[in-house]
A and B are shown apart, each in its own frame.
Chain A
């Protein structure tokens, strides 16, 4: 039948078109699913250490910051320095937020680096881009729906939707319903 031929062409070509983004969404989907256990977007490294601030004027934020950065060996560009209160200074350099307790020289560093590939995959998958990407992602979702629909009718006969396909499709629909019942 002619409709089946077109069905299969649409299914095949949409499959090719959607491959790249599907893989991106697979990678990001698994990563974000486990967000409770890890940070899927940034690699965060936290370190505590101590610096020697003796001889540095505790009221001079710039001098304090320079001393701390020097002793930590931190050379990344400085973004800003902020005096939180009498005893706490925050130094922000690119990819490193440093908190200093001035009284005792205790330093807490929070270093962050974007995870390669995952950062970009999450950016697209979680639609951080907004704007035009929203419409493209909608189009992709529609294409996936069409891919699923046309997939039902690719084969005829025992392995098609009237045979094996019916049971597998039914099972696929029952699985989410089972979990909805389980967690209700």
Chain B
């Protein structure tokens, strides 16, 4: 009886340990080929509407709803927003600083400069960060509509 209990206990402890490397969100990641964030940002028209796999460290997480993350690009200073439908995928705050593999559809958010400024100001306010409207230069926002992700724990 004791041996059975011990075996059961070890099994219970071993199962989560074996799966502790990455947590899957949404539909997971099925695309095998990695696309560089820089490639998407350099040639967005080539990728808009396509499902891609990007990899990088999560720099920011939507604190209120967990409905977006920013994934660092392969080139210094670049990042891409991954937006998910509220509630379908909820990224935890603890995902920040973790390595992520994300699958999503490349989308262009079509906004006027005023709308883009308001949107970025809203994001900054949500994060409690200062925002300088003069930094908004590009009215074209390229992002991913996230379908799934694997985030290293």
Interface set of A (CB-CB < 8 Å, partner B): 35, 39-42, 44, 46, 79-80, 82-86, 90, 92-95, 97, 108, 110, 112, 126-128
Interface string of B42-66 (1 = CB under 8 A from A): 0000000000000001011001111
Interface set of B (CB-CB < 8 Å, partner A): 57, 59-60, 63-66, 72, 76-77, 87, 90, 93-94, 96-99, 127-129
Taking chain B's interface residues, is the majority helix, strand, or loop, or is none over half, making it mixed?
loop
Contact assessment for B93 and A42 in the assembled complex, using a CB-CB cutoff below 8 Å? yes
Given A82-B57, A85-B77, A86-B76, decide whether A126 and B87 contact each other with a Cβ distance below 8 A. yes
Which of these, B63, B65, B76, B98, contacts A112 with CB under 8 Å? B63
Count of CB-CB pairs between chains A and B under 8 Å: 54
Given A80-B98, A97-B97, decide whether A90 and B87 contact each other with a Cβ distance below 8 A. no
Which of these, B60, B63, B77, contacts A42 with CB under 8 Å? B63
Which of these, A39, A40, A92, contacts B97 with CB under 8 Å? A92
CB distance from B139 to the nearest CB of A (A): 22
Given A46-B128, A80-B57, A126-B90, decide whether A39 and B63 contact each other with a Cβ distance below 8 A. yes
CB distance from B152 to the nearest CB of A (A): 10
Which of these, A39, A44, A84, A90, contacts B76 with CB under 8 Å? A84
Residues of chain A within 8 A (CB-CB) of B76 are 83-86
